[in-house]
Amino acid sequence: MSSIPGTTNLNVRVDSTLKQESDILFKNLGLNMSTAINMFLTKCVKTSSIPFKIEEPKPSKELQKALKEVDYMIKHPDKYKAYNSIEELFKDLDSND
């Protein structure tokens, strides 16, 4: 395989589903994978940055509420039943019918 003068090959491992979805997106945009990656790298170099915001995912409000509840339960174990086995749990659940 001959390459274009002044270029180099770049091998990158990506999830196969991500690659398929990206190929479809780029085709719809009139691009191929190489062009899209070159656009990304060019933008990175020109701006000396990643051209999008990178941040730690923030838990949903529902998850935040659940985490607070777990934290409370850990700090107040005396307010909650504890079981030594799954059988013990089911026996307790059955007795509440």
Residue 13 lies in domain: 9-54
At 47, phi and psi to the nearest 5?
A: -100, -5
Q: Which two tokens stand for residue 31?
A: 């691009």
pTM of the model: 0.55
**Which pLDDT belongs to residue 4?**
74
Let me know whether 40 and 68 are in one domain. no
Q: How confident is the model at residue 57, as a pLDDT?
A: 86
Average pLDDT, the chain: 92
Q: Give a yes or no: residue 13 inside a domain.
A: yes
Which residues neighbour 39 within 8 Å (Cβ) at sequence distance 6 or greater? 31
Same domain, 49 and 65: no
Do 15 and 50 lie in a common domain?
yes
Q: How many structural domains compose the chain?
A: 2
For residue 3, is pLDDT > 80?
no
